[in-house]
Amino acid sequence: MTAGHTTDSVIIRAYCDADWPAVCAVHDRARPDELRGSCDPRAFVPLANEKEDAADFQRSRKFVACIGDQIVGFVGVDGTYLSWLYVDPAYYGRGIGRRLLRLGVSLIGPQAWTVVLTGNSRARRLYESEGFQVVRTCEGFNAGYPCTSMRLALSPSAAIASPDIERPCLSLGDPNNKQTTA
């Protein structure tokens, strides 16, 4: 964190529409790290330009992490799906992602599940350290580029019995998306 800021100075509050530009900026700075090792970097699309992702974001219940007036991360939940979790790379490793994840899980409960690109080891370690387990892997496409993702769940048996089990690991836009159960 910048000088004078501790993890305690991070405030998590409900998202409001005025946060959209700052949330897009956090997403767009963090997204290349998410894609690295999983997908061609050309798969990066700014959040504001990705209509399907923007619609998914708007549908989710969202919270932002702030230091002063600056948004440094955000989380979103959509039913039992932890749909969004991004932290500005300048604030990695400071516990902000863990606090946002715990908030999301507290809103969802033990049926929580999410999707992680396989090469995103930082995210996978965070989720696994909070009790998530891999329940499925998917081969597909992201913005037209091949990638592999994993569906993780707090309770694998609940994830398999979930009514949205047919929902793909990642919205890839490919009807031939191959999924396997871990």
- Give the predicted TM-score (pTM) of the model: 0.84
Domain definitions of the chain by residue range = 7-181
- Look at residue 82 and give its three-state secondary structure: strand
Q: Which CATH superfamily is domain 7-181 in?
A: Gcn5-related N-acetyltransferase (GNAT) (3.40.630.30)
Interval 123-182: pLDDT, tens: 999 999 999 999 999 898 888 899 999 999 998 775 555 544 444 554 433 333 333 334
Q: How many Cα atoms occupy the beta-carbon half-sphere of 116 within 13 Å?
A: 22
Average pLDDT, whole number, for the chain? 86
For CA atoms 65, 142, 135, 81, the dihedral sign is: positive
Interval 22-74: pLDDT, tens: 999 999 999 999 999 899 999 999 999 988 888 899 999 999 999 999 999 99
pLDDT above 70: percentage of residues in the chain:
82
The strand order across the sheet containing 178-181 reads 10-14, 61-67, 70-78, 81-87, 113-117, 145-153, 133-142, 178-181
Alpha-carbon distances of 63 from 125, 155, 170, rounded to whole Å? 22, 24, 22
Q: What is the rounded CA–CA span in Å between residue 20 and residue 60? A: 13
What pLDDT, on a 0 to 100 scale, did the predictor assign at position 175?
Answer: 32
